[in-house]
Amino acid sequence: MPSHSAIALPLSALLCLIASLMLSGCAAPSSHWPATRDLPSQSGPPDPLVRFNGQRVASPEEWARDRRPELKKLFQHYMYGFLPPVPDRIQFVNQGIFTDLLGGKATMKLIDIQAGPEGAPKIQLMLIVPNQRRGPVPVFLAMNFCGNHALLSDPRVPLTTGWLYDSCKGCENGRATEAGRGSQAMDWPLSDIIDRGYALAAFCSTDIDSDRKDVSDGVYAWLSRYWKDPSIAAPANRGTIAAWAWGFHRCVDYLVRDPDIQRQQIAAVGHSRNGKTALLAAALDERIGLAIPHQAGCGGSAPSRGKIGESVERINTAFPHWFNARFKEFNTETDRLPFDQHALVALCAPRPVLFSNAAEDQWANPSGQFDMLKAADPVYKFLGASGLQSETPPPLGQLSPGRLGYYIREGKHSMTAGDWQVFLKFADAHFRSGQ
Ligand code: GCU
């Protein structure tokens, strides 16, 4: 265990101390960034190719060396909070390999990821790979709301053990029960995913952090107990979306080591708050090859300066734990943000990103999301990638071409088997034909 003297340090320094002891890398202390009130007002999306000091990025090398790391820090400092550290001790415990899934056409591997010393949150990863494969396959890495057991009715999948949303079928007193098994199978077309030659890796967000204003469990709470410093888990210093993104990264730690997975072809997927997380995870980790934030909206794919749907003030009020305390200072001053969500997409460049939406889901601001892709496009072009191929969104039900993909269908806020067909099409276009 660490020495107690670390507790006297400010949080940023403490996190870096943790970093130096536990991590392979850490964001630099961020105290040199201006206070929110001292940031200049910018009515539109700030140019991602202009550095914080006002200098224009001159080359792709400068983008990768200076501007990309700067943007990563800015997002964590002003909005999401810093991700928990990367553990230098990570264990992958095989809990079973079953070769007879889906009538024998797939193999299910159950892996417990223990990211950190004993007591750290354990992520239960479920990986399903096609049996008919000639080599490593691309994978959709998806974070779910209700547990892996909800995705298929196979009794060998363990029930998720953490806190659970009341809205999940079978949830009793905040915990999963057998009644939830397979309850979301309709929305996760496993058989199609496998037939198309993809693997699916799934994990439940609440293995990492429960989605509550009461932040007494999860990865930050564990860190805070481990370091005997309550401030680490204080709402001011943490963000649930950042914690979940850290969970994505730990699953990637496993996937890049699995010989059945094509390590350059990991697609991060999530719906709504899970989509916000998938985009952040991809933006902060270049090992993720493609991102699909589905109907992610405010705090994810929609502009913070947006006038349609959910506002920054509203999301910070309803879900204060999703972002850090500093983000609340922008509630009525989003014009002071030194970035907008297009810069999160730009961080993914030149990797493919798909924003998929539903026409009735105006809360997620679908048209504002298209504007974010437009504003990220110059970075794709700057890096020599195809980006957006049209100035206007495609008609309803049509996927746009290019590495910045957009799709909007009829209907409401949901993730359906039909949406997965679009995800597959987008992944085919980029993983298979290299558009
Ligand atoms: C709420 C919230 C959204 C979020 C959504 C979800 O509607 O306001 O920001 O995307 O929940 O995660 O389902």
- CA 75 to ligand 1 center in whole angstroms: 20
- The partner residues of 298 in beta bridges, in order of sequence, read 302
Q: What value does the mean pLDDT take over residues 243-269? A: 98
Secondary structure of the chain as H, E, C letters: CCCHHHHHCCHHHHHHHHHHHHCCCCCCCCCCCCCHHHCCCCCCCCCCCECCCCCECCCHHHHHHHHHHHHHHHHHHHHHCCCCCCCCCEEEEEEEEEEEHHHHCEEEEEEEEEECCCCCCEEEEEEEEECCCCCCEEEEEEEECCCHHHCCCCCCCCCCCCCCCCCCCCCECCECCHHHCCCCHHHCCHHHHHHCCCEEEEEEHHHCCCCCCCCCCCHHHHHHHHCCCHHHHCHHHCCHHHHHHHHHHHHHHHHCCCCCEEEEEEEEEEECHHHHHHHHHHHHCCCCCEEEEECCCECCCECCCCCCCCCHHHHHHHCHHHCCHHHHCCCCCHHHCCCCHHHHHHHHCCCCEEEEEECCCHHHCHHHHHHHHHHHHHHHHHCCCCCCCCCCCCCCCCCCCCCEEEEEECCCCCCCHHHHHHHHHHHHHHHHCCC
Residue 315, ligand 1, Cβ within 6 A: yes
Question: Which atom of ligand 1 is found nearest the CA of 273?
Answer: 12
- CA 273 to ligand 1 center in whole angstroms: 6
Residue 310, ligand 1, Cβ within 6 A: yes
pLDDT band at residue 233 under the 50/70/90 scheme: confident
User: What is the pTM for the complete model shown?
Assistant: 0.94
Residue count of the chain, please give it. 435
**Contact status, residue 216 vs residue 232, Cβ threshold 8 Å:** no
Q: Indicate whether 10 pLDDT > 70.
A: no
* 39 found inside a domain: no
**Contact status, residue 116 vs residue 403, Cβ threshold 8 Å:** no
Return the minimum-mean-pLDDT range out of 144-148, 226-230, 295-299, 426-430. Answer: 226-230
Question: For ligand 1, atom 9, which residue shows the shortest CA distance?
Answer: 298
pLDDT band at residue 17 under the 50/70/90 scheme: very low
pLDDT band at residue 15 under the 50/70/90 scheme: very low
* 58 found inside a domain: no
Question: For ligand 1, atom 12, which residue shows the shortest CA distance?
Answer: 273
Residue 298, ligand 1, Cβ within 6 A: yes
**Contact status, residue 393 vs residue 100, Cβ threshold 8 Å:** no
Three-point CA angle 272, 136, 85, nearest 5°: 50
- CA 363 to ligand 1 center in whole angstroms: 8
Residue 312, ligand 1, Cβ within 6 A: no
Pairing of strands 122-130, 404-409: unpaired
- CA 279 to ligand 1 center in whole angstroms: 15
- CA 83 to ligand 1 center in whole angstroms: 21
What integer pLDDT is reported at residue 119 of this predicted model? 84
What integer pLDDT is reported at residue 215 of this predicted model? 80
* 304 found inside a domain: yes
* 77 found inside a domain: no
pLDDT, tens digit, 9 for 90 and up, residues 166-189: 999 999 999 999 999 999 999 999
> φ and ψ at 270, to 5 degrees?
-165, 155
- CA 275 to ligand 1 center in whole angstroms: 10
What integer pLDDT is reported at residue 231 of this predicted model? 84
Residue 48, ligand 1, Cβ within 6 A: no
Range of the domain at 109: 90-431
Q: Which residues contact 375 (CB under 8 A, 6 or more apart)?
A: 45, 48, 340, 342
Three-point CA angle 358, 363, 365, nearest 5°: 70
**Mean pLDDT, rounded, of the chain:** 92
342-to-43, 138, 368 alpha-carbon distances in Å = 14, 26, 10
- CA 270 to ligand 1 center in whole angstroms: 12
* 203 found inside a domain: yes
pLDDT band at residue 23 under the 50/70/90 scheme: very low
Q: Indicate whether 79 pLDDT > 80.
A: yes
Q: Ligand 1, residues 271, 273, 277: which to mutate, most atoms within 8 A of Cβ?
A: 273
pLDDT band at residue 3 under the 50/70/90 scheme: very low
Give the position of tokens 């991809």: 282
Residue 297, ligand 1, Cβ within 6 A: yes
Sign of torsion over alpha carbons 172, 270, 363, 424: negative
Q: Indicate whether 18 pLDDT > 80.
A: no
What integer pLDDT is reported at residue 235 of this predicted model? 74
Question: Which atom of ligand 1 is found nearest the CA of 295?
Answer: 10
**Contact status, residue 163 vs residue 204, Cβ threshold 8 Å:** no
pLDDT, tens digit, 9 for 90 and up, residues 124-182: 999 999 999 999 999 999 999 999 999 999 999 999 999 999 999 999 999 999 999 99
Q: Ligand 1, residues 79, 80, 241, 272: which to mutate, most atoms within 8 A of Cβ?
A: 272
- CA 89 to ligand 1 center in whole angstroms: 34
pLDDT, tens digit, 9 for 90 and up, residues 336-378: 999 999 999 999 999 999 999 999 999 999 999 999 999 999 9
pLDDT band at residue 212 under the 50/70/90 scheme: very high
Return the minimum-mean-pLDDT range out of 272-281, 407-416, 426-435. Answer: 426-435
pLDDT band at residue 237 under the 50/70/90 scheme: confident
The CA radius of gyration of the chain, in Å to the nearest whole number, is 21
Residue 294, ligand 1, Cβ within 6 A: no
Question: Which atom of ligand 1 is found nearest the CA of 310?
Answer: 8
Residue 304, ligand 1, Cβ within 6 A: no
Give catalytic residues, as residue numbers: 272, 413
* 29 found inside a domain: no
* 16 found inside a domain: no
What integer pLDDT is reported at residue 214 of this predicted model? 85
pLDDT, tens digit, 9 for 90 and up, residues 385-423: 999 999 999 999 999 999 999 999 999 999 999 999 999
Q: Ligand 1, residues 167, 310, 314, 327: which to mutate, most atoms within 8 A of Cβ?
A: 310
What integer pLDDT is reported at residue 13 of this predicted model? 37
**Contact status, residue 309 vs residue 297, Cβ threshold 8 Å:** yes
What integer pLDDT is reported at residue 28 of this predicted model? 39
Residue 273, ligand 1, Cβ within 6 A: yes
Residue 293, ligand 1, Cβ within 6 A: no
- The partner residues of 185 in beta bridges, in order of sequence, read none
Question: For ligand 1, atom 10, which residue shows the shortest CA distance?
Answer: 272
pLDDT band at residue 319 under the 50/70/90 scheme: very high
* 64 found inside a domain: no
Question: For ligand 1, atom 7, which residue shows the shortest CA distance?
Answer: 363
Question: For ligand 1, atom 13, which residue shows the shortest CA distance?
Answer: 272
Residue 316, ligand 1, Cβ within 6 A: no
CATH number at residue 299: 3.40.50.1820
Number of domains in the chain: 1
Q: What value does the mean pLDDT take over residues 312-324? A: 97
Q: Which residue has the higher pLDDT, 202 or 435?
A: 202
Q: Which residues contact 360 (CB under 8 A, 6 or more apart)?
A: 410, 411, 412, 413
